[in-house]
Chains A and B, each alone.
Chain A
Amino acid sequence: MATNHQRDPDGWQSRLASRFARFAEFVQDTENDAVAVGALGTVALLGAFASFLVTSPYTSVFLAGFLAAVVYGWVRHQELAARGVTLAMTVSTVVILALITFFIFYEAWPILADRSGTVFGVTVPGLGMFTTTAWNPATASPKYSMLPMIQGTVLVTLVATAVAGPLGVAAALFISEIAPPAVRELVKPGVEILAGIPSIVYGFLGFTVLSPWASDAFDLVGQGTYLFVGIVVGLMALPTVVSVAEDAINSVPESMKSGSLALGTTDWQTMTTVTIPTAFSGVSAAVLLGVGRAIGETMAATVMLRNTPTVAEPLYNVFYGFETLTSLIAANYGSSSGLQKDALFVAGCILFVSVLALSIGSQLIERRMDRKVGGVE
């Protein structure tokens, strides 16, 4: 352990030294004007970024400098310029994402600090927003609990997954393995076109047709249920699931299936014991992508729900639909200010963290399945 500790910084230092050496060599080998233009472009881009952050009027000057450097480099040393520009693009993508993430949490901080709670003597920011259940921003002592919206998002996502998961995987299996070629070539692009229907169209259908019907059929007071929002969101996520799962199933090597069939299994046995297990990582990635879409779906939920944040009782009651994290933001951004606006940013943080966890989770599953089934290390 101790030797490791000593060796690690050494290795780090020598690696850094060799990096510097390689960089110096590169500068030596490259023509002088190319190095100068590269340096100028880098400085201009950094300057543009810095002056953008302080909202300086000189941002455009720096940006023009960068563009001039790029144009000169492109004309004189196209290969080097292309390397530099693509690197700059990649770096700026990462920086923009980092800035957005930082901004969401920065905006949410005032209310997190205001509603901190204490657990075992440790102050946890924002704890007060998760230990009460009332959302009531317009009263003398405003209450901002995130629990009603978290419950709503969880219920809608569960229902949507229950709709989109089985339907989507079954449809993908049918399209890829069972349907005759002509049907498959018609249905697959058709399903993908479904993904292009704007969510407000689904929401409007839900608001004018499904919700009033559900209100009558289940004898509810008024309209707006998590159940039907979940079903609508599930239908919206369906094309994503079908499309990705179908690609995964389709990519199972024909030789594996043929080998199984040669051993005398039926088509169905091959599907359940060879095709699906092999494609499992892709199929689960498809379902998780669908879940991600369901969590982030805003328009349909805002239109169909009641917009009165309340915890439904019992906790699994899907017949009354109050508010999800996304619809909270959509319904309140216009008339909110101060702490209430910060609370909306907290909802954004929760969404961000959960979608991040989902996408990391799907990557881990994929890696594990690759090792287990595909034999890829």
Chain B
Amino acid sequence: MTRDSERPADRVSRRKFLLTSGAIGAAGLAGCSSGGDEDTATPEPENDDGGSSDGSDGSSSDEETSGDASSSGASEPSLLTGEGSSTVFPIANKGASYWNGNAPPSDGEYWGENDEGSVPGWSEVETDMHLADYFASQYGFEATGTRSSPPYRATIGLSHSGTGCEAVTSGRVDIGNSSGPITAELGWSEEKRDEEVVDHVLGRDGQPIVVSQDIYDAGIDQLTAEQVRKIYQDEITNWSEIGGPDQEIFCIGRAVGSGTDTSFRLNMLGDAEAEMSGVDTRQGQNQGVAQLVRQNEGAIAYMALAFTGDAVRPISLEFDGTVYETSPDAENTIFDSEYPLNRDLHMYTQITEDTPSGTDMREGAFMRMFLTTFGQQVFVEANNYIPLPTADLEAEMAKLPDTA
């Protein structure tokens, strides 16, 4: 205590300390980042070159071209237009972006394969044509063989489900995107729907029920809707009550008032204002839910399928006597539209005199892209939506025109 209390500023000054630690930090950062930027330079495929030419133009001429597209194929096909729900938009727009990019089979990231890898589902395609060329040529369109120049362009507008349904039925666009059935959006009867439009379902929106790995390993790979309800309403608090290990249930819900929360209350608990007294924690985002399920034992949650994995296992659900299984090949699956937490994402096309089947060649080629393994994984699952099970894929494929 006898020392002078003046600071020996000449030894190590605060500024020196800051400078040194800053320099060390910067050097460390530089070392880390040098290896990290391999493919950031790859540009996104351009998607809306044709977007400025408006939709009414495109679809009025489409009725002329669409009829004879299969026979001639050589006349310039018109722009394919779509519009509607913001929920369907990510799927449709990503598809249109890929389509307009018309990537060559050597691309590897957007289409085809190269040294660094191949796109999902490539083994089913294995073609030497560009992306849009491959699908369009199946319907008689002439391949361009050029990047960024598809046989015809596709553009997707963003509005609402009801607006999209109206736009397609009045002929302003080719495809109407809707997250609800057109019968509900426009107040139509089912007969009117069957007369006027064709309903294409290319993906689903929903949340399967998941449990943590320890519970799955202990044999809980199926629950009944009643059990799920009791867990979320605090009537079952231990896994041993429903045949599991002696482990208290860690019940994870979603942010109060969010769409996922409301839909869960409505479809699983039977009332949009149902009590959820059993919930131990609430998370706003799928990532947070997945992390919690991974980190904790005895956890149950509901979340987007894309975030499930080894330690976050989706389970089968028995609802009204039907068992919805996790395998996409089963008769009833958690990917079905009947699964209580799912809803269909629709793309409607109009039935006209020229196309009595309701789906012309341009629409057919575009939609076929979504019904491949490639399309389901890249456009549907990568956007956190639920891919179609095998049976539905076959049924949807049957709605499209026959390939040439």
Judged by a CB distance under 8 angstroms, whether A217 is at the interface is no
Q: Give Cα A250 to B256, complex, Å.
A: 50
**Chain B residues, Cβ within 8 Å of A181:** 3, 7-8, 11
Given contacts A185-B11, A306-B280, contact A138 B295 (CB under 8 A): no
Task: Point out the residues of chain B lying under 8 angstroms from A192, CB to CB.
Answer: 14
Chain B: CB-nearest residue to A135: B256
Q: Which residues of B contact A337 (CB under 8 A)?
A: 257
Question: When A140-B273, A261-B2, A306-B281 are in contact, do A223 and B295 touch as well, CB less than 8 Å?
Answer: yes
Q: Is residue B261 within 8 Å, beta carbon to beta carbon, of the partner chain? A: yes
Q: Does B193 contact A (CB under 8 A)?
A: no
B298 in the interface (beta carbon within 8 A): yes
- Please give me the residue from chain A that is nearest to B248 by CB atom: A221
Contact check, B255 vs A185: say whether CB atoms are below 8 A apart: no
**B311-353 vs A, Cβ < 8 Å mask (1 yes, 0 no):** 0000000000000000000000000000000000000000000
Q: Quick one: given A193-B21, A207-B291, A222-B296, are A138 and B255 in contact (CB under 8 Å)?
A: no
A326 at the interface (CB under 8 A from B): no
Distance (Å) between the CB of B236 and the closest chain A CB? Answer: 13
| Interface membership of A211, Cβ < 8 A | yes
Query: Considering the complex, which residues of chain A in the window 350-370 have a beta carbon less than 8 Å from any beta carbon of chain B?
Result: none
Partner of A223, one of B5, B12, B261, B292: B292
A224-B256 contact given A138-B261, A185-B11, A257-B1, CB 8 Å threshold = no
B182 close to A (CB within 8 Å):
no
Is A138 touching B296 in the complex (CB atoms < 8 A)?
no
- Chain B contributes a number of interface residues (CB within 8 A of A) equal to 43
Of the four ranges (under 10, 10 to 19, 20 to 34, 35 or more), the interface on chain A belongs to 35 or more
Q: Specify which chain B residues have a CB less than 8 angstroms from the CB of A340 in the assembled complex.
A: 257
**Chain B 271-316 interface residues, beta-carbon cutoff 8 Å to A:** 273-276, 279-284, 291-292, 295-296, 298-299
Question: Do residues A222 and B281 form an inter-chain contact, with CB atoms below 8 A?
Answer: yes
Taking Cβ atoms with an 8 Å cutoff, the residues of A that contact B are: 136-140, 177, 181-182, 184-186, 188-190, 192-193, 207-208, 211-212, 215, 221-224, 250, 254, 257-258, 261, 267, 270-271, 306-308, 331-332, 334-337, 340
29 inter-chain pairs at a CB distance below 8 angstroms, sorted by A residue, are: A136-B275, A137-B257, A138-B273, A184-B7, A185-B8, A185-B11, A185-B12, A185-B13, A186-B12, A189-B18, A190-B21, A208-B291, A212-B295, A215-B295, A221-B250, A222-B250, A222-B292, A223-B292, A270-B1, A271-B1, A307-B255, A307-B281, A307-B282, A308-B281, A331-B284, A332-B255, A334-B284, A335-B256, A340-B257
